[in-house]
Copies of this chain bind each other. A is one copy, B any other.
Amino acid sequence: MDEKTARPGVRLHCAAPLAAGEPVELGEARAHYLRNVMRMRAGDGIGLFNAAHGEWAARVESLSRSSCVAVPVAALRPPAAEDGPWLCFAPIKRARLDAMVEKATELGASRLVPVFTRHTAMERVNVERLAAIATEAAEQCERLSVPEISAPATLEGLLAGWPAGRVLVVADESGGGVPIASALAGASGPLAILAGPEGGFARAELDALARAVFVRRVGLGPRILRADTAAIAALAILQALAGDGTIAPRATWRDRDGIIHGA
C-alpha cells in the first residue's frame, strides 16, 4: 500500500460533499476528539466518508479548539447505497438501548425506528443521542452510511404507514412463530425486524400484528430472550441468511502485526 491508499487510523463520518482538494469543516466536537483524544495535529491523515461521496483519505489542514478543516486527498472507496434491514424497537433502558443501537449499526441496519407500544416502560427516546452512537459505530465498523434514526412512532402508526413490499419479522416469544431460519429461507426483498419491549406485546397488539399481511412471526429458540438480545440475534441471523452475510470485509487493513488483510 502506498501512502495515499493506506487506511487511515481515524475514520470520521462527514455529511458534507467530499471531493479531492475541497476543504471541509468538521466542527468543534470533532476538533476536540482529534486534538485531545487522538492527539492529532495539522498535517496528519484521517479518513472521511459518507454514503453519497464514498470514502476518502484526507489531510488535516488546520486544527484548533473549535475548528478542524480537512481536505480529501484520494478516493479510497466509491459511494454505495447500504440498504440493510430496518430495526423497529420499543425503547428500553438507556445502557441496553445504547448497546442495541451500536450493535444494530455494526450489523448493517439502515434505519432504526423507535416504536412505543402499550407495555413500553420508557416514555421518551433521545434521538440525537442514538444518532451519535450510530455515527460512532459506523465509523468503527467500516460502513459508508450511518443508519437513519426515525422519529418515534406508535405501533399503530408504524403498521398503518408500513411501506409496500417490506417484510416485518417479529420475534414471537409465545411460541407461535416459525423458526427464524425456516421463515427466512429463500427470503428476498427488503426486511425489517420488530423487537418488542421487555413486557412483551399486549393482546390487541399481537392481534394487529397477526392481521398484517407483511408480518412474519418467527421463533428464536426455546429461551426467553431480553428485548435487546432478541433484536441483535434476529438482525445477525437475518443478515447471515437473507442479507449481506456472504460478503467478506472489503477494506484492506493492517493489523497490529503489520499484516495486510483483505488484499
> Chain A interface (Cβ within 8 Å of chain B)?
95, 99, 102-103, 106-108, 119, 140-143, 173-177, 179-182, 199-200, 202-203, 206, 219-226, 229, 232-234, 236-237, 239-241, 243-251, 253, 255-257, 259, 261-262
Contacts and interface: CB of A to CB of B under 8 A. Distances in A.
Nearest to A206: B259
Contacts of A219: 245-249
B240 A202 contact: no
Q: Which 3 A/B pairs are nearest by Cβ-Cβ distance?
A: A233-B236, A174-B261, A175-B248
Nearest to A177: B248
B249 A223 contact: yes
Contact of A180 (B99, B107, B141, B245): B245
A181 B180 CA distance: 13
A143 B177 CA distance: 20
Contact of A245 (B175, B179, B202, B247): B179
Contacts of A251: 224
12 contacts: A102-B229, A107-B221, A107-B233, A141-B224, A173-B261, A174-B259, A175-B250, A221-B246, A223-B249, A224-B251, A233-B233, A240-B241
B245 A108 contact: no
Contacts of A253: 224
A203 B206 CA distance: 51
Q: How many copies altogether? A: 2
B175 A249 contact: yes
Contact of A103 (B106, B119, B229): B229
A202 B261 contact: no
Nearest to A200: B255
A92 to B, nearest CB: 13
B256 A202 contact: yes
A209 B141 CA distance: 24
Nearest to A249: B175
Select the residue from A200, A202, A222 with max chain B CB neighbours within 10 A: A222
Contact of A220 (B221, B222, B245): B245
B180 A240 contact: yes
A244 B232 contact: no
A142 B222 contact: yes
B103 A224 contact: no
